[in-house]
Copies of this chain bind each other. A is one copy, B any other.
């Protein structure tokens, strides 16, 4: 199958190149951006010389549909909502890595401050958390956000099992800088990030409604979550530390069974004996989850970690690609974490 990537110069677009390059069933047919048209990608990014020497092309929906079988949007918010419509109308498969097709129009407008896609288009998209959504045969995939993926995978098993006080949930999430994208700003200047730790968008992060919406599929009693986001002085990796009051005390074995059961036959989620660290997963599509229950406070602390650019973006997109097509879920994704 032939793939087109729109938004090639962002971090997610570049990561898609890496993953699709190692995927047996696909080739990259074309790559698209709004600038640097006509230049080889490897001229701009010399690390890609000999890895991907494709030339950047202007976006043209008709040409993409003529030459490819599926298009990935790895664009900033506000772009796919404008550009995906013609593919949807033509019933041409789309995987959107951006936030543009995750929320109902009014919620999108409120949290993203951008013009939403039409309801018709939005209704055709499936929000696809790969471990919990059946996407086989689906054509329009909205890939979850990085914070959202980390948080949802930690909390869904507890909600499914009905053991959590739904409205007690407090999530303290931390991300490396690639999560904030490539834009130049005071907050991404090396000197301001290095040796620092900065909490931002407290209660205002645009992944909050997406998380609540997904968690409500598993428990209608959940109304809201308390959600913090901070920047770690690292390039990659997200950790979500979730604090959950339990309805009644549970043993470690009971909790372990809840998680193991939720993720049996799920190759990319690992329930770890010890609390996972970022090093567990960076460079891979794994989500690692660990937990500790405190019987004094009755709080369960769940720690979940992912690589924000892989499981939190390009990797989960490829996982969804595999599942849509009925391929082996792990094709192109059996990459060891870097560890160091």
Contacts and interface: CB of A to CB of B under 8 A. Distances in A.
Q: Find the residue from A284, A297, A339 having the highest chain B CB count within 10 A.
A: A339
Given A172-B172, A297-B226, A195 B282 contact: yes
Nearest to A274: B46
A150 interface: no
Interface residues of A, number: 84
A122 to B, nearest CB: 24
A194 interface: yes
Contact of A280 (B47, B193, B281, B337): B47
B283 A196 contact: no
A159 B14 CA distance: 38
A8 B230 CA distance: 29
Interface in A15-60: 17-18, 21-22, 45-52
B197 A237 contact: yes
Contacts of A51: 336-337
A198 B282 CA distance: 13
Contact of A233 (B47, B234, B288, B339): B234
Given A48-B336, A278-B197, A297 B237 contact: no
A191 B235 contact: yes
A224 interface: yes
A326 interface: no
A301 B46 contact: no
Interface string A271-296: 01111111111111010100010101
Interface string A87-100: 00000000000000
Contact of A191 (B177, B191, B200, B237): B177
Interface of A: 11, 14, 17-18, 21-22, 45-52, 167, 170, 172, 174, 177-178, 182, 184-186, 188-200, 202-203, 224-226, 228, 230, 232-237, 239, 241, 243, 267, 270, 272-284, 286, 288, 292, 294, 296-297, 299, 301, 303, 309, 334, 336-340
Given A47-B337, A198-B275, A233-B234, 6 more contacts: A49-B270, A167-B297, A184-B185, A195-B236, A226-B299, A228-B241
11 contacts: A46-B273, A46-B288, A47-B336, A48-B337, A48-B339, A50-B267, A189-B190, A192-B279, A197-B234, A198-B277, A226-B294
